[in-house]
Each structure stands twice: as C-alpha cells, then as structure tokens.
Amino acid sequence: MAADIGRDYDVIVLGAGPIGQNVADRARAAGLHVAVVERELVGGECSYWACVPSKALLRPVIAVSDARRVDGAREAVSGSISSAGVFGRRDRYVSDWDDSGQADWVRGIGATLIRGHGRLAGPRRVAVSTPGGEQPVLTARHAVVVCTGSRPALPDLPGITEAKPWTNREATGSSYVPERLAVVGAGGVGVEMATAWQGLGSQVTLLARGSGLLPRMEPFVGELIARGLAESGVDVRLGASVRGLRRAEGGRAVLELGDGSELAVSEVLFATGRAPLTDDIGLETVGLTPGSWFDVDDTCRVRAIEDGWLYGAGDVNHRALLTHQGKYQGRIAGAAIGARAAGQPLDTSPWGVHATTADHYAVPQAFFTDPEAAAVGLTARQAEDAGHQIRTVDVEIGDVVMGAKLYADGYAGRARMVVDADRGHLLGVTLVGPGVTEMLHSATIAVAGQVPVHRLWHAVPCFPTVSELWLRLLEAYRDAADDN
C-alpha cells in the first residue's frame, strides 16, 4: 500500500463521481480527514458515459436545428453534420477518458484518493481490493458514504446476452455511426440518444412501451417531443414492446416485437431504467441486502443502520436519479457529517444546509431533445394526487411571447404553471420548446422558494427575451382567476 495511504479516517467515501467529490469537499471543509475510494475513473458515470458526453453529442445537432429555424440562417446550413468533428468534441470533453485532472482535484482538496474496489467489511470498516493486489482495511471514525451510483437495468429477454445491446455507455462512447439504430425506452436517455444519433446520420427507430414519451412529465411534453423526433426522421412507435432479439448473419440485430413483427438494425440501445450499483459493496456485512436501494433520511443517513454511521447519496438512494440532485445530496451529507462530528445541532444553520428538502418538492430536470424539455416540482396530476387544491395555466409560447418569435421562426412550445390555490405559490412548472432548459433555474427558484404569485409580478422579464413567458403565465393565471 502506498506510503501516503493510511488506515484510519474520519470519513470514507465509496465512489469518486460528482456526488462523492461533493461529499469529500464538504467534509474536508469541516476539517475532517477523508479517503475517497474509486474502482473506475475519477469523475464517475456522469463525466465519461452520461451527462457530459451525451450533451457534447447533442449540442451540434441542436445548434444546426436551431439555425434551420431562422430565415437567413438556414440558407447557411448545408450538408450533413460531421460525425468525426462531433466525436472529437465529445472526446475533448471527456478528456479522452483520462481522469488525471479529476484525480488531481480530489487530492487538491486534501482528500486521500485510493484506487480500487471498496467493500464494507462490517460497521465503519471498508476493505479495498487495489490494482496492485493489496487488501487494506480502512476504518471510519464518523461515517462511510456510499456514492457508487447505478447501472443500466436490462430486461430479461431471450437472446439479450448474445445480442450484446448498447447501454448508455456505448451510446455515448461510440465513434461510428450505425446505419440503423433501435432505441428501446422512452425516458430521458432514450429520447436524448434518439435525437443525437438521428442527427448524426443513423436511421433511428424509437420503441416506447407506453402511450407516450417521458411519461413522468406533463403529457404534452411527450407529444411535442414525439412530433419533433418524427419531423427529424425518427420512426417513433408507441405501445411497442420487445419480446426477444438475436444477432443475424452480418452482425445485424433482429428484434422480435410484441405484435409479431421483426425489426432489423445495426445496433440496439436499451434505455430501460437503472438499478443500484450496490450488489458487490459488502452490504451483507452490515445487515443490508446486496443490490438494494438505500432508504435514507434528509441528511442521506441510512435509516436501517444503528449509530447512524452509514450514508447513501446520489442514485443509490433512489430519490432522484439526476447528477445535479445527487451533488446537492452530497453537499448536504458532507455538511451534516461535519456538523455531527463537531457536536453541532443540525437545525441551527442559517443557510439550511443540513436537509435535502428539495428532494421532496423542487427537483429540476432537463432533457436536451429537439424541442428541449424542462420541469421542476410537481405535475398537475402529482399535485392533485398529493392532496393539493391547484390551478393550472398553459401558454403556447410561440403564440404570445415576442422573444420566442425572434428566437425561432414558427417557434413551437408550451409552458404550464401549477399553483397551490390555497397558499398562492407555485408547485410546479413545465416547459417544452427550443432553448427552454436555460429558463429552468428561474422556475426552480420560484418553486424552491415558494414565492407567492403576487410577488412574481415584480420580477420583471427583459424584453424581448423568451423569459417574457413568465409575464404571459401570470396574465393567464390572473385571467383564469377573474373568470371564476
């Protein structure tokens, strides 16, 4: 074992992705001695196989699409997108899958980086299998924090192993453009990768088992995205299921569909959900079930563990499988561990940094499709199911917002505001349309801050920006109230 690696720490973090890094940073800021254990690349799934490379692939596709929506600009767009240029851009943003820069950052905050596979070995103990064959056992004085993330959940289908389908890793890491690509799944990964690979030159077929895309968002979001995908050339099939697959001669993948037909493609991507990456981290040594999600409190402490030394942040707690939300949890967990180690009460902070309250009512999400989709808080149905008395207002963005008309000729998009009718503040906002992801944070502030609607009248949007949408939503809400 390297001379600079000790065996006793205040905090041990399993996983050096963005969530683990945030835990380590906050714990170090509290003066704690921290070790971070990572078995793959420092930076995790988001940096190398998910958020960063997917957006690097998508941005050129969306940029060209945006240009084609503006008279005078569309004439300058000719030919097809350079896939080699796009792949080169992606490779730069993932540092050619070299994690030395992020490893230096971890060391730079004063944490000890240990490369190897970390497994719990009883309370407050972590055994590490290092690449050099060493097996050190580390001890945590205050906390072990599991930030190991999630993995693709592939369905149990005949032939799936032999067919070697793509997961998000192949979809974001490939440097060749398949002639035909089937995407199975209608969630965020499915719709984003359908957008990217169609733009890069594949003929994409998107198979959605349900009746719409992005089913956890407002129904109109899936409708507009399905329309946008179809207009770009994607074959969108709703109510489609896969009952088996195989590799045929020539390497083509053949999908056997639920209606009895077959679909032959060059590659097939399964984007059918995630499972916790907790099956091989020693959970059985502390009385937990390997491969299970963690049930945590609002400081990310695992409820089932006595003495409160085990925490789970990010995907492993299944609250919101989103990098930004996991980083938020990491900051909360690190701060809470620091406060507890110092014997400080958690309810006295003026900054409210010791509880992940946003997990319950103000989770933002954005999808970089064409058109883009963004939402924060509750949908109308979720709000009603939670027992709220609500009022909803919808606005067709391109019809009433001058900034949208200037942004894109024939701008097509919609916004919805869900208001708590009893308390007068926003419960949720949903946006779909070109460029709307950059407006999401204003909605997040309004929802997280529970800003009364009457105060939002005094947040004046600049003319002529798409943000004037806020004024149109408020006017629609006022008019609806006057009619009642």
Secondary structure (DSSP) of 230-299: HHHT-EEEET--EEEEEE-GGG-EEEEETTS-EEEESEEEE---EEES-TTS-GGGGT--TTPPP-B-TT
| Apex 66 CA angle, 60 and 69, nearest 5 | 145
Determine the pLDDT at residue 350.
60
Give 387-399 pLDDT, tens digit per residue: 999 999 999 999 9
Binding site residue list for NAD(+): 185-192, 273
pLDDT > 80? residue 446: yes
Average of per-residue pLDDT values in the chain:
96
pLDDT > 50? residue 332: yes
Helix or strand or coil: residue 344?
coil
Give 430-440 pLDDT, tens digit per residue: 999 999 999 99
Helix or strand or coil: residue 206?
strand
- Mean pLDDT over 207-232 rounds to 97
Helix or strand or coil: residue 122?
coil
- Mean pLDDT over 176-190 rounds to 98
Beta-carbon contacts of 422 under 8 Å, excluding residues fewer than 6 positions away, are 388, 389
Helix or strand or coil: residue 284?
helix
Amino acid (one-letter) located at 323: T
Helix or strand or coil: residue 413?
coil
- Cα end-to-end distance, the chain, whole Å: 73
Determine the pLDDT at residue 351.
63
Determine the pLDDT at residue 40.
98
- Percent of the chain at pLDDT exceeding 70: 98
The domains of the chain, with CATH numbers, are 8-47+94-151+276-358 (3.50.50.60), 160-272 (3.50.50.60), 371-480 (3.30.390.30)
- Mean pLDDT over 143-154 rounds to 98
Two structure tokens written together for 54: 């997917």
**Backbone conformation region of residue 381, classed left if phi is above 0, alpha if psi is from -120 to 50, else beta:** alpha
pLDDT > 60? residue 257: yes
Gap between the Cα atoms of 16 and 95, Å rounded: 16
Determine the pLDDT at residue 18.
98
Scored b (16 or more CB within 10 A) or e, 435-460 reads bbbebbebbbebbbeeeebeebeeee
Gap between the Cα atoms of 28 and 338, Å rounded: 8
Q: What is the pTM of this model?
A: 0.95
Helix or strand or coil: residue 148?
coil
Q: What is the DSSP string of 439-456?
A: GHHHHHHHHHTT-BHHHH
Within 10 angstroms of residue 421's Cβ, the number of other Cβ atoms is 14
pLDDT band at 6 (very low <50, low <70, confident <90, very high): confident
Binding site residue list for FAD: 55, 118, 148-150, 315
pLDDT band at 3 (very low <50, low <70, confident <90, very high): very low
pLDDT > 90? residue 24: yes
| Apex 456 CA angle, 453 and 459, nearest 5 | 180
Binding site residue list: 55, 118, 148-150, 185-192, 273, 315
Strand pairing partners for 237?
207
- Mean pLDDT over 396-414 rounds to 97
CB 46, CB 18: distance < 8 Å:
yes
Determine the pLDDT at residue 102.
98
pLDDT band at 480 (very low <50, low <70, confident <90, very high): confident
Q: How many residues does the chain have?
A: 484
pLDDT > 60? residue 197: yes
Gap between the Cα atoms of 195 and 198, Å rounded: 6
Beta strands in 130-238, from DSSP E residues, in sequence order? 137-146, 150-152, 180-184, 203-208, 235-238
Alpha carbon 198 to chain centroid distance?
21
CB 114, CB 14: distance < 8 Å:
no
pLDDT band at 250 (very low <50, low <70, confident <90, very high): confident
pLDDT > 60? residue 44: yes
Two structure tokens written together for 425: 């503040």
